[in-house]
Amino acid sequence: MSNQKKKDIKALNEEFKGVFEDFDVKKPKDKIIELSTEEFSQKEMKIKKAQADLSPDLMNLEGITGIGLGGDHLGSPVLKIYVRKKNRSLIKKIKAITKEEPILIEETGDIVAQNVDHLNV
């Protein structure tokens, strides 16, 4: 590995130092737990209610680009929060609002409207 590549990796590690510790990352268990349709529906309804209740506060945070429903690595329903750029401060604010709700934070970058003048709509 070149010295420049090593420097780049070190710089990235420094830039993101501490950010990943803020995530509640849990290793998947050996066995995937299958939810019954009823259990899944109950979890999904809980997440939909959380989305409705928490969206106003979350959307008032600088850096939030959207909120939706999604699934975790096992397919269980989660509140998906889209952010312009992940950073420790924003993650702490999100966690303070969402408390114990299962969330997934996805970095989107800037979201801009596309020019659709060329479409014959």
CATH number at residue 58: 3.30.300.50
- Parent domain of 65: 35-110
- pTM of the entire predicted model: 0.65
pLDDT per position as a tens digit, 7-33: 777 776 666 665 555 555 554 554 555
**C-alpha angle with apex 50: 81 to 42, nearest 5 degrees?**
115
Residue 120 falls inside a structural domain: no
Residue pLDDT, tens place only, 62-87 = 999 999 999 888 788 999 999 999 99
Does the residue 92 lie in any domain? yes
pLDDT at 30: 47
pLDDT digits (tens, 9 = 90+) for 29-63: 545 556 678 888 888 899 999 999 999 999 999 99
Tell me the helix, strand and coil percentages in the chain, rounded to 5: 40, 15, 40
Total number of domains constituting the chain: 1
In a domain, 20, yes or no: no
Q: In the structure, what pLDDT confidence band is assigned to residue 121 with cuts at 50, 70 and 90?
A: low
